[in-house]
A and B are shown apart, each in its own frame.
Chain A
Amino acid sequence: MSDLATRDYADPAVRAQLVSEVDRAPGAAKPDPILVVDSVVRHFGGMTAVDVDHLEVQRGIITALIGPNGAGKTTFFNLVTGFDRPSQGAHWSFDGKTLDKTSASSVAQAGMVRTFQLTKSLNRMTVMDNMMLGATEQSGENLVKSLFKPLWHGQEREIEERAKELLDRFKLLAKKDDYAGSLSGGQRKLLEMARALMTRPKMIMLDEPMAGVNPALTQSLLGHIQSLRDEGTTVLFVEHDMHMVRHISDWVVVMAEGRVIAEGPADSVMSDQAVIDAYLGAHHDMDLGDDALLEEDAVKEMADEVAREEAEGKA
Chain B
Amino acid sequence: MSLTEDLTTGSDKEQADRTSRNKLLYAAGGLVAFLVALALLSHVPGSTGQIAASMLRVAIQPQTAALAVAVIGLNIHFGYTGLLNMGQAGFMMLGAYGFSIAIWKGQPMIVGILAGFAAAFVFALLLGIPTLKLRGDYLAIVTISAAEILRYTGRLAKLENFTGAAQGIPGSQYRGPFADLSFLPQDTNWTFPFTKLTYPLTGTDDWWTRLVAWLVVALCSYFVFLLARSPWGRLLRGVREDEDAIRSLGKNVFAVKMQALIIGGLFGALGGIIFILPSSMQPDAMGRNLTFFAWTALLLGGAATVFGPVLGSILFFSVRIFLQGITDAVLPSGLMNTQQTEQFAWICIGVMLMLIVIFRPQGLVGDKRELRFNV
A residues contacting B by CB (< 8 A) are: 81, 83, 103-106, 108-109, 113-116, 120-125, 128-129, 132-134, 136, 138, 140-143, 146-147, 149, 152, 156-157, 160, 176-177, 179, 181, 192, 195-196, 198-199
Contact = CB atoms under 8 A, between A and B. Distances in A.
Contacts of A146: 226-227, 230-233
B244 interface: yes
Nearest to A111: B250
B247 A104 contact: yes
Contacts of A121: 245
> Quick one: which of B245, B246, B259, B371 has the most chain A CB within 10 A?
B245
Contacts of B135: none
B18 interface: no
Interface of B: 11-13, 16, 223, 226-227, 229-235, 237-238, 241-242, 244-253, 259, 263, 369-372, 374
A147 B248 contact: no
6 contacts: A124-B369, A125-B234, A128-B12, A140-B231, A140-B232, A146-B233
A201 to B, nearest CB: 9
A124 B370 contact: yes
B230 A104 contact: no
A168 to B, nearest CB: 14
Given A116-B248, A122-B238, A141 B12 contact: no
B250 A109 contact: yes
B244 A104 contact: yes
Contact of A122 (B231, B245, B252): B245
Contacts of B369: 124, 179, 181
Most chain B CB within 10 A, of A134, A176, A192, A199, is at: A134
Specify which of A105, A140, A181 lies most central, judged by the most chain B CB atoms within 10 Å of its CB: A105
B371 A124 contact: yes
A116 B242 CA distance: 12
Contacts of B223: 147
B11 A157 contact: yes
Contacts of A105: 247, 249-253
A230 to B, nearest CB: 24
B241 A81 contact: no
Contacts of B229: 149
A41 B249 CA distance: 25
A124 B250 contact: no
Contacts of A198: 249
B182 to A, nearest CB: 29
Interface centre among A104, A176, A195, A198 (most CB of B within 10 A): A104
